[in-house]
Structure 1
Amino acid sequence: MEIALLLSKEHTTLPLAEVEAVLECEGINYHIKEEGEGLLILDIPHETPDIMMKVIKRLSFTHEAFQILLQNDEDKLISEMEKYPWKDIVKSDYAVRVKKMDKKSQFNTSKLEWEMGSIINEATPGVKVNLEDPSIFIRTILKDGKVIVGQRIGKISKKHFFNLKPHKRPFFYPGSMSPKLARCMVNLTRIKKGQTLLDPFCGTGGILIEAGIVGARVIGTDIDYKMVKGTKENLEHCGISDYEVFREDARKLELPSKVDAIVTDPPYGISASTGGEKSEDLYQQSMRSLQGLLKDDGRMCLATPHYLDLDEVLEGTKFKIIEQHHIKMHKSLTRVISVLTIS
């Protein structure tokens, strides 16, 4: 089965890294057939659209996924459309949507949608077009003189990430991470449903919310009582019930058992949120504490400012950096997303 994914162009490396992490987490074998800006084509043997839906529901830096039905040069599209057995695919109301991914295509998208719809109508008498909420969504991609036509399997909900923006939650504090990036960081750890994830600097609980939504049991700590109380309020608001949140210093944190993943966005600079400690010192002391809380096969995903030397911070610990992504926030700050393992 060939699956195409429309990836977000917000970042150059995170979308692909997230897809690969979730596929691995769900135990799905795959082969990358094509990778380009905004488009990823995978060959996934023996899998079904239902199984792929589990993957799609977890992703944040992907827009939609569709099963490829046909692909060819643009000038062969109409003849291929006319030969395709549409009656085997389109059995109820449908819509056709065309997306240009570059400026090379000579097609007018609206005209092409109408022409493709006419071909499908002729092949499937009695089936109606439904542009609002179709049962079958036919996606067509025009890119590099090629055309890909597929049936959409699933679409990532923008509404979820919009509704859970930090300022829309009951408890808000400036500097909170976006839910989209929080979900991606959770996914990069390969956390599975039912496993335990820790955020030792939980802040307003954004990372814990996204981990809880994908089915993880979540543990959060913060040195600030206000954050602990606010995190609990936000978790309850989002329907997350399998959690434990309490006040503790990450440098002294102890748990009854090790966790499967750690995802966190520690505070930067000197402030009340760092207990008056410099970031470098706080990070170094925390890493020494946290290395004993992560299972040997677990992963940690950490957000840090670019000016922090993470190699220096991790010196003397068992943590090893296996993956890094850089996100430019503004002129003076780049956020580095690092995935660590225990070596």
Structure 2
Amino acid sequence: MNTIEPLSYLYTYSCNEDERDLRNLEMRSFFGSDTIKAVLISKEKIDPSRSPFMKGRIDIIFKARTVEELAKQLDGLEIDKPFKVVFVKNPDHSNEEAVRFKMRREIERSIGLKIKGEVDLIYPSMLFGIMKVEGEWLFGRYYKSKAVWLHHQNKPHQYSTALSTRVARAVVNIAVPNSTGIKMIDPCCGIGTVLVEALSMGIQIIGRDINPLVLPGTRENIAHFGFHTEVTLGDINDVTGSYDVAIIDMPYNLCSVITSKEKLEMIQSARRFSKKVVIVTIEPMDSVIEAAGFEIVDRCVAKKGTFLREVLVCQ
């Protein structure tokens, strides 16, 4: 393929209403801003499979006001691998704005014919996407998201109060939008849901938990998906070393009742060993976090019916 640098990147999103606040915090972590829409265009390049809410990414290389103008720009583009052009529906379009099926197939055909190369509609090596956004037609390499987190639901060991894999993946992205050179710790790792999601994204992370009964299952869960990391037994207050970021899912079940003093000690300890902490809690934590010396720089509520968790980004 002729080397053409993308002008920008288009991301499509899907989530239910309960997830919107969490999705928006993840957006802000990746891109610095969010949107009420299901389409976001940015100069930032993110693997769409990282997010549980992203459906795909188009690396925009051409744009035009009409399909005919777009086709002229594509004339002579040469692809050296079997390819396919797909019309990507704009989730923000109403029924009146949506392009009908027959027209979508015709657009795919007319655009595909302008490209020099081998078309393979069944097993293409490259996908190209075309989408209409705010009256403009956009074209570029298309990457579909792979729902990796969905596969991780099938862990050998489960824990009733653990984060869902979908929420855990979003929380990891909020904590580490750019993983290059990052050292991360989950000092209350439980059954390892956060660890698995982080490791699947290539993030350097270790785990720790005070409960000796849970850790064999944690290690087995990690190994089940072909990952490996250090998981140790110990109190958060005894963590040594220095980390760029920590994720703390605060204990809250009947077996993990902790006092306000113990909460403060936990966050003070995190302040000692980590520059940034993302805290997941079902109880108000603002005063404890501030007393520990952190500032809450962003936040959201992750809902599941009537069950609410706060996700707090602290620095």
Q: Could you tell me the TM-score, scaled by structure 1's length?
A: 0.78
Matches within 5 A, 1:172-251: 172-190=158-176, 192-246=179-233, 248-250=234-236
More deviation in 135-144 or 35-44?
A: 135-144
| Cα distance in 2 for residues equivalent to 1:16 and 1:152 | 25
Q: Deviations over 1:310-341 (max 9, x none)?
A: 1122242111100101122222x321111101
Q: Which moved more, 1:255-264 or 1:57-66?
A: 57-66
Where does residue 28 of structure 1 map in the other structure? none
From 52, 56, 67, the counterpart of 1:60 = 52
Whether 1:2 aligns to 2:8 is yes
Is the Cα–Cα contact under 8 Å of residues 18 and 61 in structure 1 kept in the other structure? Answer: no
CA contact (8 A) 2:21 2:302 kept: no
CA distance in 2 between partners of 1:256 and 1:216 (Å): 20
Q: Highest relative contact order (Cα 8 Å, sep 6+), 1 or 2?
A: 2
Deviation at 1:140, TM superposition (A): 3.0
Counterpart for residue 293 of structure 1: 273
**Residues 80 and 173 of structure 1: CA distance in aligned 2, closer, same or farther (over 3 Å):** same
Map 1:1-343 onto structure 2 (within 5 A).
Answer: 1-10=7-16, 11-19=19-27, 21-22=29-30, 35-43=35-43, 52=45, 55-73=47-65, 76-77=66-67, 79-88=68-77, 90-91=79-80, 92-101=82-91, 102-103=93-94, 105-106=96-97, 108-124=99-115, 127-130=118-121, 132-144=122-134, 146-158=135-147, 160-165=148-153, 168-190=154-176, 192-246=179-233, 248-250=234-236, 253-269=237-253, 271-272=254-255, 274=256, 276-278=257-259, 280-294=260-274, 298-305=275-282, 308-331=283-306, 333-341=307-315
State TM-score, norm by structure 2.
Answer: 0.84
Per-residue CA deviations over 1:101-123 (Å, capped at 9, x if unaligned) read: 32154554321222113323543
Instruction: Find the counterpart in structure 1 of residue 4 from structure 2.
Output: none
- The answer to whether the 8 A contact 2:172-2:198 is kept is yes
- Root-mean-square deviation (CA, aligned residues, Å) is 2.8
Contact 1:56-1:155 at 8 Å conserved across structures: yes
Aligned residues: 304
Q: Which runs of structure 1 show a deviation greater than 6 angstroms over 4 or more consecutive aligned residues?
A: none
Note the alpha carbon deviations across 1:24-47, whole angstroms, 9 max, x for none.
Answer: 8xxxxxxx8x95511111136xxx
Q: State the Cα distance separating 1:125 from its structure 2 match.
A: 6.4
Unaligned runs of 5+ in 1: 25-31, 45-51
The one-letter code matched in structure 1 to 2:69 is E
Distance 1:36 1:289 in 2: 37
